[in-house]
Amino acid sequence: HIVHVPLGERTYDIVIGPDAIGSAGTRLKKMFPGARFAIVTDTNVSESQLPRLEASLSAQGLAYHVIVVAAGEASKNWATLNTVVDGIIAARLERNDIVLALGGGVIGDLAGFAASITRRGMDFVQIPTSLLAQVDSSVGGKTGINSVHGKNLVGAFHQPRLVLADLSALDTLPARQFNAGYAELAKYGLIDDAELFFWLEANYRDIAAGGASRAQAIAKACAAKARVVAGDEKERGNRALLNLGHTFGHALEKATGYSERLLHGEGVSIGMVLAYKFSARIGICPSQEVGRVEAHLKNAGLPTTLADIPGDLAPTEALLDMIAQDKKVSRGKLTFILTRGIGQAFIENDVAPDAIRAFLEDMR
């Protein structure tokens, strides 16, 4: 499967294949003649997937340098960014050389941002190895790190030149991480494509088992994201729909310290169900549809309620503060992605904090 992301002179392809890493060397050699490469990866992926990429580059006689950072969200910080940038410079990569981001969303965001600022902007290629990265973060050009004030507050729009999504990389991905990525996949159906959501329901078994529907599901997700991004690259309008479930989700991630207690995709799963439940509560979304969404996510091994989060949850007032600090807020009112049903999400800029406070109290 090849999905095209049409963005004028920043247009690129997403190649989804069973051995996209194995054929990376050939593709990269053809696309970037004479270039040298810096592979940025993390301590997990360097064990499971890096050897395949190194073999593929070596077989084509391509020169590369490897930069390994600690696995986990905590690496999206200034110190690690500094290490990556200096690593690229120390390897004597020139402006026409290429950064390869091999890993999950953390590596894609970090390495992409490093590429955007090193030597005033180097090209980079996304080689996503987690499901979340393959269906979401590797596409669309958002790169960055976290600030002490919150997630993704420092960054740049920097589109990759190419995305290589390798299906067999998912074989070494822990099941919990796979499920978390599945939440972002289901999100595209929930936003504006009920057909896709019903198709996911019908094909879930095969997708989870690694059957032929898995590649199709990833391609459908990439096509959905490409369409939204092509229509609104810098998030001045409809791209915000991709934040469905994320305003609640980010607050829950923050409240649990960005830890193993709650993965990003798990926060998004709970957040999407909360967005659907809130929409039902204000009378705009049929409650059977909320039940159907919750049942599917649960079936996919995902948490769907606040009670599913292990340990004590921060008080409602603290959660509300975190929601208000999230960047999707204006003039004392909160911005939420709400919905009129499956595949009918919309941006609501006028949500009263009091309504969310009362809702969260009831949900605990």
Active site residue 250: yes
Helix (H, G, I), strand (E, B) or coil at 351: strand
Interface of this chain with ligand NAD, residues 45 to 74, rule: CB under 6 A = 45, 48-49, 71-73
- The dihedrals phi and psi of 341, each to the nearest 5 degrees, come to 155, 180
Spatial separation of the C-alpha atoms in residues 329 and 93, rounded to whole Å: 40
187 belongs to the binding site for ligand NAD (CB under 6 A): no
DSSP 29-42: HHHSTT--EEEEEE
Residue whose structure tokens are 């996209």: 20
Residues 6+ away with beta carbon under 8 Å from 96: 32, 34, 35, 123
Q: How far is the CB of 174 from ligand NAD (least distance, A)?
A: 6
User: Looking at 25, 87, 105, 267, which residue binds ligand NAD (CB under 6 A)?
Assistant: 105
Active site residue 266: no
Catalytic entry in 161, 239, 254, 296: 239
The helix (run of H) or strand (run of E) holding residue 363 is: helix 353-363
Active site residue 30: no
Active site residue 142: yes
Count the site residues for ligand NAD by CB under 6 A: 31
Residue whose structure tokens are 């990439």: 222
Catalytic entry in 158, 161, 214, 250: 250
Phi/psi-derived region of residue 330, left when phi > 0, alpha when psi is between -120 and 50, beta in every other case: beta
Active site residue 264: yes
Residue whose structure tokens are 């993390």: 42
> Considering Cα of 17, then 19, then 20, then 23, what sign does the dihedral take?
negative
Residues 6+ away with beta carbon under 8 Å from 225: 135, 136, 139, 140, 188, 242
Q: Among 48, 33, 43, which residue's Cα sits nearest to residue 67?
A: 43
Interface of this chain with ligand NAD, residues 233 to 292, rule: CB under 6 A = 264
Q: How far is the CB of 133 from ligand NAD (least distance, A)?
A: 4
- Span near ligand NAD by CB under 6 A; candidates 136-144, 205-213, 291-299, 302-310: 136-144
Q: How far is the CB of 2 from ligand NAD (least distance, A)?
A: 20
Query: Which CB, 83 or 316, lies closer to ligand NAD?
Result: 83
177 belongs to the binding site for ligand NAD (CB under 6 A): yes
- Span near ligand NAD by CB under 6 A; candidates 2-10, 22-30, 101-109, 318-326: 101-109
The DSSP bridge partners found for residue 3 are: 14
Q: Among 84, 118, 86, which residue's Cα sits nearest to residue 101?
A: 84
Query: Which CB, 47 or 86, lies closer to ligand NAD?
Result: 47
User: Looking at 53, 101, 167, 169, which residue binds ligand NAD (CB under 6 A)?
Assistant: 169
Active site residue 234: no
User: Looking at 76, 158, 187, 328, which residue binds ligand NAD (CB under 6 A)?
Assistant: 76
Per-residue contact string for residues 297-326; x = within reach of ligand NAD by CB under 6 A:
------------------------------
> Cβ of 116: how many Cβ atoms within 10 Å?
21
- Amino acid letter, 113: F
Spatial separation of the C-alpha atoms in residues 333 and 178, rounded to whole Å: 35
Q: Could you list the residues that contact ligand NAD (CB under 6 A)?
A: 42, 44-45, 48-49, 71-73, 76, 103-107, 109, 129-130, 132-133, 136-137, 140, 142, 151-152, 169, 172-173, 177, 180, 264
- Residues noted as catalytic: 120, 142, 184, 225, 235, 239, 243, 246, 250, 264
